Structure 1
Amino acid sequence: MDPWRGPSGPTVTDGGLETDLIFHHGVDLPAFAAFPLLEDERGCELLEGYYRGYAEVALATGAALLLETPTWRANSDWGAQLGWGAADLDRVNRAAVSWLSAFGTRYADRLPEVRVGGTIGPRGDGYVAGAAVDPDEATAYHRPQLESFAAAGADLASAYTLTGTGEAVGIVRAAREVGLPVAISFTLETDGRLPDGTVLADAVAQVDDVAAPDYYLLNCAHPLHIAPALQDRGAWRERIRGLRCNASTATHAELDAAEELDEGDLERFTTDHADLLASLPQVVILGGCCGTDVRHVARLWGTSSQS
């Protein structure tokens, strides 16, 4: 069977997993890592309730469902901070895919499509651009996590909150080596540029020129912060297939320092998305990022949620 190369129609995905768990459920997530929750019964119960809300949005709208693993921090540098070695990370990355796959089977006969994606995060900080990343080093670094996803039967890998193009290129190359379709998602600042200062249109062109992913998403920025990037017209816009925006209009530095959750203005969040979608004709995946929960995503899809 040919590998899945991206959504063919409207697709629901989830919101801001970590901020939802921390601020709405009182869960302590050291290093902002949700993957350890897969290791105990209570953690799995929390995750099941979380993903169920988004599955219900898909059921209410008739859209497909993209379930993405809680493994944004499950790479070696972040894992080491939590005392997780290579074997532990391999186990939990495989388990994340298997667990979500089993969860997704409950909805497979009622939705147009249910897919499971392995989530990758950056080696460094998703808000702050560090030194330029060598693509070859990024390939070697991220390959173990991608191998785990592939071995567990993931449909694709999605790399979120990338701050520059070097790491993106490396991740795409590693995904190709293990045979996984791959999506790349960049973080944007309030001026619509990547944290390292790269113009979004240039970032897409640079990555596509040497290691094109199956598609791109944009995440961890409010729709108002994405809008400036769309002043650059061109075919590059058609490569953007998904949006996972922040609820808040605050800067990344402000969000990093915040002790209370900024859930933003739900009405503004919705209407600002409508403006973005008018400029991004290929976007079919809609979810959320920091500060969002199932209420935000449900509103984007024209339904409601009591969660």
Structure 2
Amino acid sequence: MPLRQAVTAAGLITGYAADSLFGDPRRGHPVAVFGSWAGALERRWWADSKPRGAAYAAVCAGAATGLGVAAQLSTRRRPFARFALTAAATWVVLGGRGLASEGREMARLLDTGDVPAARARLSHLCARDATELDSAELTRAATESIAENTSDAVVAPLLWGAVAGLPGLLGYRALNTLDAMVGYRSLRHRNFGWAAARLDDVVNLVPSRAGAVLTAVSAPLAGGQVRASLRAWRRYGSHHPSPNAGQVEAAFAGALGLRLGGTNSYGGEVEDRGTLGDGRAPQPVDLRHAVRLSRVVGAAAALVAAAVAVAR
């Protein structure tokens, strides 16, 4: 096995372990720093224009990817430095532990009937308008967000790190962050954020479907069934308006025996997400099952990413 591939694989596993044990860095999180810089640039560059937005996305994502390329080139003959940088980059771009913590906290708030606090807390998971949501809708929103973010914040960065190393890790996280910032179809970002949203769709096409397969394979470890998860994925994965989000959400729905999807509001824009799954409506206890499934899927993705890195 070439040393370079082994170093990348070891860095990915170590970074995944660091995220699982410690979660996000407490201060000076590089993703937050990137978001602040990108936000400041957006305020200066914004125009109701797709070309202007495309240039913005290219500059922001290109800067992050370029940093990864420079780090990759500077460590090509320094295996320990390559390992350390890969582990550090993997740690900061992953969000598995933070996602699980938010899911458990939402479950606790809903279990105790603290709907106002749960509405406020939902913003930590997604940008959905929660002002009118009741306990059932909050539970559904949180469950869907755990499923979608298992792909976006765990599976996808690991796979991009496996196939493209440091540029893949940093470039993917930059695009995903831009999508969260400007990709929603609000009046301000309908045109300016179009390129960021479409690029994020493209880079998640394969990871989202890999995440759905890993969800099905992992289902028994979270009390679910492989066949039910695969059946829901095949039947409902394309019902979602996003080409990617519905893949893992449908697989989670089948694995947990739930029915997800419905009408959601984002910044005043109402969107019908279709029906995902043919089970019952989710309850707060299902959030804990979703968290368990998310953690198992993340561990499986880390092993697959390491294997891909070695094979590459």
Shorter-chain TM-score range? under 0.3
Q: Which structure shows the higher strand fraction?
A: 1
User: Normalising by structure 1, what TM-score?
Assistant: 0.27
Q: Which structure shows the higher helix fraction?
A: 2
User: Normalising by structure 2, what TM-score?
Assistant: 0.27
